[in-house]
Amino acid sequence: MDNTISITQQLSSIKVSLIIQHSLLLVCIVLLTACGGEGSCDNLQPGTYQCQLEHDSLMRNYTVHVPKSYSGMQSVPLVFDIHGFIEHPYLQILWSGFLQKSEEKNFIVVWPQGSGAPFYYNAGSCCDLFGREADDVGFFRALVAQLKSSANIDEDKVFATGLSNGGAMSLHLGCEATDLFAAIAPLGYILGEDHNCQPSKPLPVINFMTPTDQLVNIRGGAVGPVSFIDEKFPHLLTLLPPNLQIRTLSMEDSQQVWRDNNGCSTTKTEVYRKGKSYCITYGECTSGAPVTSCVLDGKGQFLGGHINYINNDHVPVADIIWDFFSRVK
């Protein structure tokens, strides 16, 4: 009976999530419609813009916000804030906190939209469930080039963060486009078991997870409702199509990949604590590129705290991420 409740609760939570998303989406559309700037997607000025970019024969959408303090006279950092699986970018705007942080710290923030309908990213091991095989790394490369032509971007301070499938995309960009990104901050996701992550240089990484996450287990294993099958009937897992057999490393093993890449020791130092939530940074990294793990208390929250921004200790996730990004030299 407990097993049945477990998978039913997961599916019910996903259904509730979709209802909440559609309601919040209407709110976001109303708010953003009133925030247009005097510039355009080709000549960005302070304001919020809905833009398009054709890449790989697909018309891709993105939302970009330029802070009021931007004048174009000095280059500013660029942050990609990437939405989760079958979510709309406006939801990421609503709960990530990066719209406000952009205004506070004077950087441009972009919310790209995944391909197709429903929207998602082909992030290597996650989560091309419909087999679209979109070139999303190429899309981000083209998007950075587009933004550099329309605004004064500091090319040494381009960052990626995101939740769930967006976290997976952040990791994928860290593996495949290290030449372009200065640091990444994935939330609610960790490297897949079948990863082939070979960054071209050391890369600062800060990763967020909750121990009670019902979609992505901090200890690794199958992702989503499939995790129930993996735990109770593992012999049936092989009967599923390959694109549904998504598995991750544990958070510890995932971070080990980045520690090895950055030349970090195994010594841990606690750098943040609030309630039951905390962040630890691994010992001196010979490359100077730090690796930090943040574990948030999400018990009792929606999907076990999978939406890391909403946690029991009210940890200001955007603040921590921006502090990490801003320290990159």
pLDDT of residue 70: 97
pLDDT of residue 229: 64
Parse the chain into domains and list their residue ranges: 2-260+291-326
Q: What is the DSSP string of 134-177?
A: --HHHHHHHHHHHHHHHS-EEEEEEEEEEETHHHHHHHHHHHH-
Residue recorded with tokens 């996650």: 126
Of 29, 36, 260, 223, nearest to 124 by C-alpha is: 223
Q: Is the pLDDT of residue 184 over 70?
A: yes
pLDDT of residue 62: 95
Length of the chain as a residue count:
329
> Residue 204's pLDDT band (boundaries 50, 70, 90)?
very high
> Residue 117's pLDDT band (boundaries 50, 70, 90)?
low
Q: Is the pLDDT of residue 143 over 90?
A: yes
> Residue 37's pLDDT band (boundaries 50, 70, 90)?
low
List the beta bridge partners of residue 186: 162
Percent of the chain with pLDDT strictly greater than 70: 80
Q: What is the mean pLDDT of residues 82-88?
A: 83
pLDDT of residue 130: 59
Q: Is the pLDDT of residue 172 over 70?
A: yes
pLDDT of residue 40: 86
pLDDT of residue 232: 66
pLDDT tens digits, 259-291: 999 999 989 999 999 999 999 999 889 999 999
- 3-state class of 3 per DSSP? helix
Q: What is the mean pLDDT of residues 67-92?
A: 92
Helix-, strand-, coil-residue percentages of the chain, each rounded to 5: 35, 25, 40
**CATH T-level assignment (fold) for domain 2-260+291-326:** Rossmann fold (3.40.50)
Q: What is the mean pLDDT of residues 324-328?
A: 96
pLDDT tens digits, 209-247: 999 998 999 999 888 766 666 666 666 666 666 666 788
Q: Is the pLDDT of residue 85 over 60?
A: yes
Residue recorded with tokens 């407990």: 2
The alpha-helical segments, DSSP class H, found in 34-187 are: 89-96, 98-105, 136-150, 165-176
> Residue 32's pLDDT band (boundaries 50, 70, 90)?
low
Q: Is the pLDDT of residue 71 over 90?
A: yes
Backbone torsions φ then ψ of 104, nearest 5 degrees = -70, -40
